[in-house]
Amino acid sequence: MTEQRSDVRTDPNAELRRYALEAFVAHGYEGASLQQIAERAGYTKANVLYHFGSKVGLLEQAIAPAIEAFERFLHSWSELDDVEGVRSLVDPFVALLLEHRLAVNLFLVRGSALEGIPSVDRATELVHELSVRIAGATTDPTAYLRTTIALGGAAYCLANPYQDDGVELDSPEFRDLLARTLTAILLTRPDAADADREVAARDAAAMTPIMNALSRD
């Protein structure tokens, strides 16, 4: 019998969504059972089915906040050819990535096995829309490549919370460092001034030990 927790449960939906994402990321959608998720959260399988109807329903609702945040992010910036335009892209992107790490990880690592699920298919559409918007926001082909590579690389490196190795991903210092590093990458030009290159190099050096920790097995 599942041992029920005695503390007051103010939002069972939120708890179950969080534990579901953790299970889906750790074991894959097929490998994570509703029974395991329910027990981990301190509920019964019947509770899960009552709130979400099915395993697919649980997955859909678990990633819905990330999808909604991604849609808002797509409309939060316009141009990429100056500092303000780049920061209008980088700052909300960093917030999205760190706030929804589990959902981002699930999509990046397990997404190919979840095709056909509406929310996952919607996430794929949004990634394509992001690529199209980036292409339309700059007339410089190299800027497009820098942007897509930088954002994609940051997402893959930082989405996995099981590799943080003591790095405080939610700290203001880390958020600021990540934003400054991405901004430096996106603003780098072949003819950039020496001072700009020095700033980019300093931020990249500061980021190196953090990225090494995040990518360590």
pLDDT in tens, 87-135: 888 999 999 998 998 999 999 988 889 999 999 999 999 999 998 888 8
Query: By C-alpha distance, which of 208, 206, 199, 188 is closest to 86?
Result: 188
pTM > 0.85: yes or no: no
Shared domain for 51 and 68, answered yes or no, is no
More confident residue, 59 or 217: 59
* Domain housing 50: 12-55
End-to-end CA distance of the chain: 35
Shared domain for 49 and 110, answered yes or no, is no
Shared domain for 125 and 41, answered yes or no, is no
For residue 214, is pLDDT > 60? no
Shared domain for 134 and 206, answered yes or no, is yes
pLDDT in tens, 152-176: 988 987 765 545 555 677 778 888 8
Q: What is the pLDDT of residue 217?
A: 42
Output the domain CATH number for residue 40: 1.10.10.60
Shared domain for 108 and 160, answered yes or no, is yes
Shared domain for 47 and 105, answered yes or no, is no
CB environment 164-179: b (16+ within 10 A), e (fewer) = beebeeeeeebbebbb
Count of beta carbons in the 10 Å neighbourhood of residue 80:
23
- As a whole number of angstroms, the distance between CA 209 and CA 22 comes to 26
For residue 3, is pLDDT > 50? no
Shared domain for 36 and 136, answered yes or no, is no
- Number of structural domains the chain divides into: 2
